[in-house]
Chains A and B, each alone.
Chain A
């Protein structure tokens, strides 16, 4: 289907189904129950899942395929956000022009930075991209305040022109981003028994765009262009000796992944129309690296898994507090309960970064292929066991 082979089509359909039924899947616990805090099916978080999924998919096209580790990818996300918010300010609250401008601007920005940074490779490339991103962050924070809003961030105002739209609504409010009359924050709530499912319009727009970007990334992975990028990763020197100039390919990959980041930034601004410089800070760049590695760099589904997992952990683990821990362990003897709570406590709530760091280190050390490799190993384990069983059945007794 769509020019994909059977395996990829299945993958695409699985991801599509997961996206479509996310409001159910992420809300497995009834409202008001003790476990309700682990529900992740609220619009804001679901939107972030897919937006960071797009970001990570794009990063994976660069890092997973070419092996160039960019430590400044958040700059493109930030630029995309700014572009989108400016479109909301100047043109209209329709998200289509905003997203288009976000992608175009971040693509141009990536072209500029990539043109310079890709002259070097390895650690130098990482540091160059890091330097560029930090530079953009510093500029956005200080000198470019008329464009970026500086410390407060870029926000919509009542007196923005919005040539094609309206400056303010009849009630005198700032209009909200929408798509031909539908507002991004429109939600439909469906109560089944004690469960409450929220279907958010903005989420489905994001999910649709993520599916399209996922499809494009599959096509890139399977194309001759993708093969070329993989050749660059495995041995760039040999590629150069064959007389091929690898830079146009890496630059194309860099620009594509920058555009993905811009798309994510544009969507982020569409869901919540403001943009701040902190989105470009280098920890944000580090976050997307974490997501991609955690899920599995160079695999198709990995970055989405990684993005989902990190965002889920960020929201859910940081919500757990000491009282909840005591509730969990209440059935234990007092001393052991306190001990367990004391042991777990540093890793939850505000300490979730610690958990993240530890998980990340464990993944890099033991599972360089990320969660996807972990899944494959487990699958192999079962397969081998099965194969062994078959083997024992098949052996014939030696004749006596």
Chain B
């Protein structure tokens, strides 16, 4: 029982990332009908937003510290972040410590901007082209974005720690009435899961309860009719693209403490996220979320030692295997709508 709960918990954080990326992919696909291979790159750029902000926050200037001397006897020069000067040492430290959560505020406008520029500048011209062309051009874009990040940040992973308050693990088992030391779970992963739920909830609420969301949903169902009613649906879809980019970016920002960001992390997630979208059903938002969590949990179950002993290598292939079985038996995906990209 403990082991099962532990595996479910372990699957949740990866599942959250899959669900968030797949949600963005599905938003783009459902609204614009574009298969976006650059979505993983957006996830990666989000992660590097966190890196950038923490670098900005730690921008420092040299100050001579008269109280200390270096080994030659000269007064020691120390780097002091500007934040210390502005807010005092204590507040400054706290702000630097909370760089990753703060990056959310920084990442949202950046990602929406990137998304809108991408849609207006490039993707707009590909609506009428075949899906293969869309895949290819966004694939090329993903390479370019990835290489640009590599040029500025280097090829090595950049560790970006979580705030001190969330470092370390806690005993989750005690909370739900198990013995101590049975289910140990890192704080940050729980934060990530909660955050993912929040973002997913916000996106659904936005689509469900606002006029804007209603128009977008109407556009997803029948774009032409909405256009004939005198609504500028293109503009709204562009904003939805920005929103999808922001969702991917936020997933990336919050993922940085779990996995140090490097320039190819997006591609690693992209392949799996596509599989998630297909399993969930092309164009179905709840399907994408459900499949994301489901596959994340399945993956963590498959990496249990007992399961690996039974079927060696299953942890490496389980997601693809599930995708193949789903596509062959239920081509529409778990919750796919009828008539959306069925062939």
Contacts and interface: CB of A to CB of B under 8 A. Distances in A.
Interface of A: 67, 69, 116, 119-124, 126-128, 130-132, 134-135, 138-139, 141-144, 282-283, 286, 289, 293, 346, 351, 353-354, 356-358, 360-361, 364-365, 368
Given A130-B274, A139-B316, A346 B151 contact: yes
A351 B143 CA distance: 11
Contacts of B142: 357
A360 B317 CA distance: 31
Contacts of A116: 324, 328
Contact of A127 (B141, B278, B343): B278
Contacts of A356: 143
Interface string B131-159: 11101110111111011100100000000
Given A131-B323, A138-B316, A357-B147, A123 B137 contact: no
Contact of B278 (A124, A138, A346, A357): A124
A354 B151 contact: yes
A206 to B, nearest CB: 28
B125 interface: yes
Contact of A124 (B136, B313, B327): B327
Given A124-B331, A351-B151, A143 B144 contact: no
Nearest to B35: A123
B135 A69 contact: yes
Contact of A364 (B131, B140, B146): B140
B289 to A, nearest CB: 19
A130 B323 CA distance: 11
B78 interface: no
Given A121-B343, A357-B142, A357-B146, 10 more contacts: A119-B327, A119-B328, A123-B282, A124-B331, A127-B274, A131-B275, A135-B320, A141-B316, A353-B143, A365-B122
Interface of B: 35, 122, 125, 129-133, 135-137, 139-144, 146-148, 151, 267, 271, 274-275, 278, 282, 312-313, 316-317, 320-321, 323-324, 327-328, 331, 341, 343
Given A357-B144, A365-B125, A122 B131 contact: yes
B56 to A, nearest CB: 22
Nearest to A67: B132
Contacts of B137: 361, 364-365
B330 to A, nearest CB: 12
A130 B135 contact: no
B143 A132 contact: no
A120 B316 contact: no
Contacts of A135: 316-317, 320-321
22 contacts: A116-B324, A116-B328, A122-B341, A122-B343, A123-B35, A127-B274, A127-B323, A128-B324, A134-B271, A134-B320, A143-B312, A143-B316, A144-B313, A353-B147, A354-B151, A357-B142, A357-B143, A357-B144, A360-B139, A364-B136, A365-B125, A368-B133
Contacts of B341: 122-124
Nearest to B333: A124
Residue of B35, B144, B282, B341 ringed by the most chain A CB atoms within 10 A: B144
B334 to A, nearest CB: 14
B117 to A, nearest CB: 15
Contacts of A368: 129, 133
Lowest 5 CB-CB distances: which A-B pairs, in order?
Answer: A143-B313, A357-B143, A138-B316, A354-B147, A361-B140
A368 B313 CA distance: 41
B143 to A, nearest CB: 3
B39 to A, nearest CB: 14
Contacts of B146: 353, 357
Nearest to B130: A67
Nearest to A113: B324
Contacts of A346: 151
A14 B66 CA distance: 78
A130 B312 CA distance: 22
Contacts of B320: 131-132, 134-135, 138
B148 A354 contact: yes
A131 B316 CA distance: 11
A130 B270 CA distance: 11
Nearest to B314: A143
Contacts of B151: 346, 351, 354
A361 B140 CA distance: 5
A61 to B, nearest CB: 16
Contacts of B324: 116, 128, 131-132
B316 A130 contact: no
Contacts of A357: 140-144, 146-147
A318 to B, nearest CB: 12
A360 B131 contact: no
Contacts of B312: 143
A357 B312 CA distance: 38
Contact of B316 (A142, A353, A354): A142
B313 A139 contact: yes
A147 to B, nearest CB: 12
A264 to B, nearest CB: 22
Contact of A361 (B129, B141, B278, B331): B141
B193 to A, nearest CB: 26
Residue of B140, B144, B271 ringed by the most chain A CB atoms within 10 A: B140
A124 B317 CA distance: 18
Given A67-B132, A131-B320, A138 B144 contact: no
A360 B140 contact: yes
Contacts of A143: 312-313, 316
A123 B35 CA distance: 8
A139 B274 CA distance: 20
Contacts of B135: 69, 123, 126
Contacts of A132: 320, 324
